[in-house]
């Protein structure tokens, strides 16, 4: 029989906006920064975990299998099994889902599941022509051959390719993620004014959450090697309004596009962890669960409309559990783009889409905006790709506890044409 799986605790770093050059933390640095205080406050040893699972997309060369490197730096023991998962934007949620299934099926009792990403450390890549030139130079035999190879150098061989830019471009459709959001917005008639208003509200909600202390206990202060400290998500712009955002030019489809830097998620560094436990581990260590994972679901769709991933993944999840949109009291829907979030809401409320694509009897209905991303989202926080899926689950659990709600769903679109959703219930 499937065993219950509980989320007992979690923490994350502040999300730090990428600016000029690499930020102060690598992916493993970030994972360690929020992992240490999380493990230090537990009534058990870090070595008591069965596994460590960490989502990460842009793994840097010095940290292959960052899950294992982080586990060792966190003092979890040399015999701790640790592995890294990657499903683009869903990586942080995939770590939770994998842990959930291990525990549910009786293969583990306690797992540390997380996500980490330092997008500011995304590499510059040599073009293939430059790689071939260097290979020719390295393998040339004798002085004359090496000189001949060296004289073949052309300036274009040394022109770097921005790795992050290529990573955020779908290799099948050749659309970057912002362009896929434009497609979704066009399909459902989302206007620029609607997108800017949504983005401004995201900043307002995060600023309010910070001011009211709603993130205390979730966000851990991070300390860099040069003695600086970081104690809050620094991409928030409390003075943002729909009017100020309206002045920004479209980024991906000029001049008529809807998606701008102001209504898109930010390029950001950050990490997040959650502790998952079985009922046996809860009893053994006298833990107090925050919530239980009820179910999860993954879906796939055309990469050109990847932004509708939440609709395609959350709808079957609801159906399988005999629930409707209105039965869910708290939602975390990752804000990749305001246009994309609004497109998802419009899709659920579109009779034709729900009948023809979701195979429902009619429109699923509306999600009350007061129940959606109550403390802001990736537009104001940022979207460290491998981390966001973990953060939205962690924050959903904390928001549900604060608001006293019973059921919540965390869901996200995933580059490449995927979506993930997780159903959480208060305990």
Residues designated catalytic: 89, 383, 413
Kindly state the helix (H) or strand (E) to which residue 37 belongs, with its residue range: helix 27-40
Q: Are 28 and 56 in contact (CB under 8 A)?
A: no
Neighbouring-strand partners of residue 271: 116
- Beta-strand (E) ranges in 266-309? 268-278, 291-300
Which of 80, 7, 75 lies closest to 273 in space, CA to CA? Answer: 7
Q: Are 316 and 420 in contact (CB under 8 A)?
A: no
Q: Is the dihedral of CA 307, 312, 315, 316 positive or negative?
A: negative
**Tokens standing for 42?**
């537990």
Residues in the chain, total? 427
Which of 101, 41, 52, 106 lies closest to 76 in space, CA to CA? Answer: 52
53 three-state secondary structure: strand
Beta strands 407-414 and 330-333, pairing class: parallel
Q: Tally Cβ neighbours within 10 Å of residue 25.
A: 25
Find the farthest-apart pair of alpha carbons in the chain and give their distance in angstroms, rounded.
77
Q: What are phi and psi of 377, to 5 degrees?
A: -155, -155
Beta strands 124-125 and 222-223, pairing class: unpaired
d(CA 405, CA 390): 20
299 three-state secondary structure: strand
Report which DSSP code applies to 22.
-
**Tokens standing for 329?**
């009291």
Q: 383: left (phi > 0), else alpha (psi -120 to 50), else beta?
A: beta
**Tokens standing for 288?**
């107090």
Q: What are phi and psi of 349, to 5 degrees?
A: -100, 10
């Amino acid at each position: 029989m499937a065993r219950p799986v509980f989320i007992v605790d979690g923490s994350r770093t502040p999300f730090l906006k990428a600016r000029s050059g690499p930020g102060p933390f690598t992916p493993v640095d970030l994972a360690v920064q929020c992992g240490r205080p999380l493990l230090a406050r537990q009534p058990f040893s870090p070595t008591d975990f069965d596994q460590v699972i960490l989502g990460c997309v842009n793994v840097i060369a010095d940290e292959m299998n960052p899950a294992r490197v982080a586990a060792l730096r966190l003092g979890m023991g040399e015999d701790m099994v640790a592995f890294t998962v990657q499903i683009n934007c869903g990586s942080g949620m995939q770590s939770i889902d994998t842990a959930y299934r291990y525990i549910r099926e009786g293969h583990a009792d306690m797992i540390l599941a997380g996500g980490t990403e330092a997008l500011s450390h995304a590499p510059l890549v040599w073009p293939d022509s430059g790689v071939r030139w260097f290979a020719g130079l390295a393998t040339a035999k004798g002085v004359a051959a090496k000189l001949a190879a060296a004289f073949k150098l052309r300036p274009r061989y040394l022109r770097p390719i921005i790795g992050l830019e290529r990573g955020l471009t779908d290799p099948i459709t050749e659309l970057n993620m912002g362009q896929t959001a434009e497609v979704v917005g066009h399909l459902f008639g989302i206007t620029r004014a609607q997108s800017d208003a949504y983005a401004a509200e995201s900043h307002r909600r995060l600023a309010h959450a910070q001011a009211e202390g709603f993130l205390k206990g979730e966000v851990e202060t991070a300390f860099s090697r040069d003695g600086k400290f970081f104690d809050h998500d620094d991409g928030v712009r409390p003075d943002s309004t729909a009017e100020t955002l309206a002045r920004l030019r479209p980024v991906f489809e000029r001049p008529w596009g809807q998606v701008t830097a102001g209504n898109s998620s930010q390029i950001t560094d950050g990490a997040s962890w959650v502790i998952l436990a079985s009922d046996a581990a809860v009893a053994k260590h006298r833990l107090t669960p925050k919530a239980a994972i009820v179910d999860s679901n993954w879906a796939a769709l055309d990469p050109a409309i990847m932004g509708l991933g939440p609709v395609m993944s959350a709808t079957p999840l609801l159906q399988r559990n005999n629930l409707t949109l209105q039965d869910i009291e708290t939602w975390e829907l990752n804000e990749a783009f305001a246009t994309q979030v609004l497109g998802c809401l419009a899709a659920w409320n579109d009779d034709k889409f729900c009948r023809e694509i979701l195979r429902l009897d009619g429109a699923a209905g509306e999600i009350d905006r007061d129940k959606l991303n109550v403390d802001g989202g990736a537009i104001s926080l940022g979207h460290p790709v491998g981390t966001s899926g973990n953060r939205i689950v962690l924050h959903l659990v904390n928001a549900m506890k604060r608001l006293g709600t019973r059921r919540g769903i965390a869901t996200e679109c995933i580059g490449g044409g995927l979506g993930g959703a997780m159903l959480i219930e208060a305990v």
